[in-house]
Structure 1
Amino acid sequence: MLKQFFILCSGADKELLEGCSEGEQTKYIGIGATVFFTAVMAFIACAYALFTVFDSIYPALLFGLVWSLLIFNLDRYIVSTIRKKDKFSSEFIQATPRIILAVIIAIVISKPLEIKIFEKEINTVLLSEKNAMALNNKKEVANYFKSDLDKNKAEIYKLKSEVTHKEKEVNTLYETYITEAEGTAGTKKLGKGPVFKEKIAKHDLVKKELDTLQKINLAKIVAMELKSKTLQADLDKKVTETQPIIDSFDGLMSRINALDKLPWLPSFFIMLLFLAIETSPIIAKLLSPRGEYDFKLEDLETALKATLEQDKYQRALLVKTSASMYDKVYGDIAEDKKLYDLQRKNTSDLLELQSNNFIEKQKRTL
């Protein structure tokens, strides 16, 4: 049963191959097995690739099955349509488009398995890229809020500077009236004279201004600091919201790009392995000598071609002969006097009826 299945996979004519030798059948069983296992590898590769895309096993298995059937059908078609000829160059030219197609298929089905084989190395590259993206994301978000935060900080600094400046002014006036009372500066008269009262009054006025300014600016500073906290919270929220996008940066395309950043030689040899598997049925058929099956198949095809060409020639000859006979028959009929008189009488009667009918219509019109 397995033998019959692999013969089916090879695309060979089952009935024709059964009449061939065991060696010939073994050759096509090997070709069919290669086609089948290539499809199995295509299923594994496609299923894994789509699993990285959908993160679900059922769609991956479904599309993997469809892809493997497509590859199986293509390989089976490629192998079954190559015909053995007397010259190797003719066979190679015939197989060239199929070899190119096989190379494309090998590259396509090898890439997902390369991703799986080098998964740990790819994860390292992706981790490094995610960290860099997270840092760049924080910088971009911080730059987005930077102008508002800087403006807010500048306002707070300005308000605090006004209070500090007014406090310095109050302290200066305080020292002035104290030294005036002590007699160490100003009029240098000990006691609380008119000058002292003037300076303490000025100090008290500025102190009231300071109290008012502190009250107003403190309220503004509290509001500004609350706004800064809100901006900082928005910044942190933005970073938190964008982080899952960075964390999910491990899809198929990102893994392929990460694979390209690894040393190319191991990946290249894996691709060559799949290329050898994919092209092996074609190469085997090209290198193998013409066998019993090829001769029998050529005999059937040439016999059918000869029969079709003969039928086509006979049909053309039949049409030509029939046309010649009908020309001669109608030529003889045209010279028959009896048929001529009958046709003349019928035509005359028809014209008479048409004339009478026309006259009747004219009368009805009048």
Structure 2
Amino acid sequence: MLKQFFIICSGADTDILEQCSKGEQNKYAGIGATVFFTAVIAFIAGSYALYTVFDNVYTSIFFGLIWGLLIFNLDRYIVSTIKKTGNIINELIQASPRILLAIIIAIVISKPLELKIFEKEINQVLLEQKNELTLANKNQISEQFTPTIASLQSEITNLQKDIETKEAEVNALYNTYISEAEGTAGTKLLGKGPVYKEKREKHDALLAELEQLKVENKAKIVAIENQIAQLKDDYENQVTTTQPIISNFDGLMARVNALGKLPWLPSFFIFLLFLAIETSPILAKLLSPKSAYDYKLEDQETTIKTNVLQNKSQRDAMLKADFAINDRIYTDLENEDELYTYKRKKARELMQLQADAFFKHQKNVL
């Protein structure tokens, strides 16, 4: 039962193969087993690759099964279409497109399995890339907010400098009127004279302006600080919103790119392994000598081809003979007086009918 199943997988003609030896049947059963297990590996590889895309087991298994059946059908077609001719050059030319297709299939099958085999190393590369993307993302978002925050902080600094400048002026007037009262400067008269009172009034007026300025600038600084706090909150919210995109940066393409950053030699040997598996049925047919199955298949195909050519040749000869006979018949009829007289009579009757019809039409018009 299992042997018969593998023979079907090989694409061989079971009716012809039943007439061959057990060894010939075993050879094609081995080729079919290779085709079958290659399809199984393709199913596993395709399911894993699609799982990284859909992140759903059932969906991945469904599409992986379709992929495995597709690879099975392609491999079976490739093996079944290689015909043994006995000429190695012709066989290589015949097999070259199929070998190329087998190489493509081997690449497609091996890549998802490489992703699974080197999963830990790929995760490490992806982690480093995610960290780099996180820093770059924060820098890019920061560039949107930093100029505005810096401008607002500069406004706060200017407002504080205005207060400090006004305080310095008030302190200077304070020292001036105190020195006037002590007699150490100005008029150098001890006591609170008119000059003292004048300087004291200037100080008090400027002090009142200072207090008013402090109140106004403090309100402005609080408003600006609120704007800065809001901008910082917006920055944190945008970083938090965009971080899941970076965290999910582990799809199929990202993993393939990460695999490309790893040393190429292990991946290359895995590819060679699958290439050997994929091309082994083709190589087995190319390297094996022309066997009883090939002779029987060739005999069957040439029999059908010969029969078709014979039928075509007979139909061509029949058509050619029929043309020749028709030519002779019409040539003989051309010289018969009886046929001429009959056709002349009928033509005359037709012309009389046409003349009568024309006469009636003209009469009705008048």
Q: Do they superpose with TM above 0.5?
A: yes
Q: Secondary structure at the match of 1:250?
A: coil
Q: Provide the C-alpha distance between the structure 2 equivalents of 1:187 and 1:275, rounded to a whole number of angstroms.
A: 108
Residue 9 of structure 2 aligns with an amino acid whose one-letter code is C
For residue 238 of structure 1, report the CA deviation from its aligned partner: 0.9
Q: Secondary structure at the match of 1:190?
A: coil
Residue 275 of structure 1 aligns with an amino acid whose one-letter code is L
For residue 177 of structure 1, report the CA deviation from its aligned partner: 1.8
Match of 1:135 in 2: 135
Q: Provide the C-alpha distance between the structure 2 equivalents of 1:23 and 1:178, rounded to a whole number of angstroms.
A: 125
Residue 318 of structure 1 aligns with an amino acid whose one-letter code is M
Q: Provide the C-alpha distance between the structure 1 equivalents of 2:337 and 2:21, rounded to a whole number of angstroms.
A: 75
Q: Provide the C-alpha distance between the structure 2 equivalents of 1:358 and 1:342, rounded to a whole number of angstroms.
A: 25
Q: Provide the C-alpha distance between the structure 2 equivalents of 1:319 and 1:40, rounded to a whole number of angstroms.
A: 55
277-286 vs 339-348, greater mean Cα deviation = 339-348
Structure 1 position 318 matched with structure 2 position 318: yes
Aligned residues: 366
Q: Provide the C-alpha distance between the structure 2 equivalents of 1:343 and 1:34, rounded to a whole number of angstroms.
A: 79
Match of 1:194 in 2: 194
Residue 10 of structure 1 aligns with an amino acid whose one-letter code is S
Q: Provide the C-alpha distance between the structure 2 equivalents of 1:168 and 1:20, rounded to a whole number of angstroms.
A: 115
Match of 1:152 in 2: 152
Matches within 5 A, 1:64-213: 64-213=64-213
Q: Provide the C-alpha distance between the structure 2 equivalents of 1:203 and 1:66, rounded to a whole number of angstroms.
A: 93
For residue 337 of structure 1, report the CA deviation from its aligned partner: 2.2
Q: Provide the C-alpha distance between the structure 2 equivalents of 1:168 and 1:326, rounded to a whole number of angstroms.
A: 131
Structure 1 position 51 matched with structure 2 position 51: yes
Q: Provide the C-alpha distance between the structure 1 equivalents of 2:189 and 2:256, rounded to a whole number of angstroms.
A: 91
Q: Provide the C-alpha distance between the structure 1 equivalents of 2:361 and 2:5, rounded to a whole number of angstroms.
A: 83
Structure 1 position 62 matched with structure 2 position 34: no
Q: Provide the C-alpha distance between the structure 2 equivalents of 1:52 and 1:146, rounded to a whole number of angstroms.
A: 38
Q: Provide the C-alpha distance between the structure 1 equivalents of 2:46 and 2:186, rounded to a whole number of angstroms.
A: 96
Structure 1 position 272 matched with structure 2 position 272: yes
Q: Secondary structure at the match of 1:187?
A: coil
Match of 1:233 in 2: 233
For residue 242 of structure 1, report the CA deviation from its aligned partner: 0.8
Match of 1:4 in 2: 4
Q: Secondary structure at the match of 1:262?
A: coil
234-243 vs 168-177, greater mean Cα deviation = 168-177
Residue 275 of structure 2 aligns with an amino acid whose one-letter code is L
For residue 179 of structure 1, report the CA deviation from its aligned partner: 2.5
**What CA deviation, in whole Å up to 9, does each residue of 1:192-217 have, x standing for no partner?**
12221111111101101101111111
Q: Provide the C-alpha distance between the structure 2 equivalents of 1:175 and 1:238, rounded to a whole number of angstroms.
A: 53
Q: Secondary structure at the match of 1:290?
A: coil
For residue 190 of structure 1, report the CA deviation from its aligned partner: 2.4
Q: Secondary structure at the match of 1:282?
A: helix
For residue 346 of structure 1, report the CA deviation from its aligned partner: 1.4
Q: Percent identity?
A: 59
Q: Provide the C-alpha distance between the structure 2 equivalents of 1:27 and 1:84, rounded to a whole number of angstroms.
A: 15
Residue 252 of structure 1 aligns with an amino acid whose one-letter code is L
For residue 184 of structure 1, report the CA deviation from its aligned partner: 3.0
Q: Provide the C-alpha distance between the structure 2 equivalents of 1:181 and 1:199, rounded to a whole number of angstroms.
A: 10
User: Runs of 4+ in structure 1 displaced over 3 angstroms?
Assistant: none
Q: Provide the C-alpha distance between the structure 2 equivalents of 1:179 and 1:281, rounded to a whole number of angstroms.
A: 112
Matches within 5 A, 1:262-341: 262-341=262-341
CA RMSD, Structure 1 to Structure 2 (Å) = 1.1
Residue 64 of structure 1 aligns with an amino acid whose one-letter code is G
TM-score when normalising by structure 1: 0.98
TM-score when normalising by structure 2: 0.98
**5+ residue gaps in structure 1?**
none
Residue 281 of structure 2 aligns with an amino acid whose one-letter code is P
Q: Provide the C-alpha distance between the structure 1 equivalents of 2:264 and 2:188, rounded to a whole number of angstroms.
A: 92
For residue 56 of structure 1, report the CA deviation from its aligned partner: 1.2
Q: Provide the C-alpha distance between the structure 1 equivalents of 2:186 and 2:30, rounded to a whole number of angstroms.
A: 118
For residue 357 of structure 1, report the CA deviation from its aligned partner: 1.0
For residue 336 of structure 1, report the CA deviation from its aligned partner: 2.4
Q: Provide the C-alpha distance between the structure 1 equivalents of 2:185 and 2:89, rounded to a whole number of angstroms.
A: 118
Residue 162 of structure 1 aligns with an amino acid whose one-letter code is D
Match of 2:365 in 1: 365
For residue 180 of structure 1, report the CA deviation from its aligned partner: 2.3
For residue 291 of structure 1, report the CA deviation from its aligned partner: 0.8
For residue 111 of structure 1, report the CA deviation from its aligned partner: 0.6
Match of 1:40 in 2: 40
**What CA deviation, in whole Å up to 9, does each residue of 1:277-322 have, x standing for no partner?**
1111101111111111000000111111111111111110000111
